[in-house]
Amino acid sequence: MTDLNREFDGRVAIVTGAAGGVGSAVTRLFADRGAYVVAEDVKPEVAELESYSDRIVSITGDISEEKSATRAVELAMARFGRLDILINNAARIINKRVAEMTIEDWDSVLDVNLRGTFLHSREAMKVMIAANRGTIVNVGSYACHVAFPTIGAYAASKGAIAQLTRVLALEGAEHGIRANVVAPGDIVTGILDDIMSNGRDFLAKHGESTPIGRAAQPEEIAEIIAFAACDRASYMTGSVVMADGGYTAV
């Protein structure tokens, strides 16, 4: 029987967007279960995670930049000698209708959500192919499948992440590499903090429209990400795992 407290014992993971709600929850959970974690974020607050565990090392960088992806992978290899898990979690959103969106608005979302996922996956795959093992979990959204007004760029990025993940799964299979998407619905995090003053309240309220009747807490989504990354999910690849309180089941 698997000891969940040690299921990542000796594994090495990179978590992007690690200063945010889901990212920090994943980072702490992995460290608690034996992993060494490279916690990456554009926000310098990511360094605070190092005080949580000596298994965590932080790195600050814009994930949409190629050098950030190479630095994160190089840090994992230099500090811990291997890379087993990549969690592409960093994301941003802009609420604007398509007719009102600028090119800068569009690029700012696609660069972080999609380009950042591509760059980190590419660099991680190089190491994982050489080791003949690894797993990638990309954090999608129920916006992989459904849409709302004002989230054109976000929905496009998350739909593209689902397709990119399927390709990663096919290309990685012969090398012992799995790739999956965890697609949450509303989570009470600070993702909307830059665009509204009451973002957490908005997400909590919007979550009430799900069959479960509430939004998720970051720790709940972290558990699903951990399952997708662990050996218990060894036969799952190329999947989009919905974690949206039943929203897309209606």
Q: What is the pLDDT of residues 175-226, one digit of tens each?
A: 999 999 999 998 988 788 777 778 888 888 888 889 999 999 999 999 999 9
Phi, psi for residue 77 in degrees, rounded to 5: -70, -40
Q: What is the pLDDT along the chain (250 residues), one digit of tens a residue?
A: 567 779 999 999 999 999 999 999 999 999 999 999 999 999 999 999 999 999 999 999 999 999 999 999 999 999 999 999 999 999 999 999 999 999 999 999 999 999 999 999 999 999 999 999 999 999 999 999 999 899 999 999 999 999 999 999 999 999 999 999 999 998 988 788 777 778 888 888 888 889 999 999 999 999 999 999 999 999 999 999 999 999 999 8
Strand 177-184's sheet: what is its strand order? Answer: 56-60, 36-41, 12-16, 85-88, 134-139, 177-184, 240-243
Which residue among 36, 52, 142, 154 is the active-site one?
154
Structure tokens of 154? Answer: 């976000």
Right CATH number for 4-93+105-185+217-242 from 3.60.10.10, 3.40.50.300, 3.40.50.2300, 3.40.50.720? 3.40.50.720
Whether the full predicted model's pTM is greater than 0.75, yes or no, is: yes
Has 52 been annotated as catalytic? no
3-state SS assignment for residue 99: helix
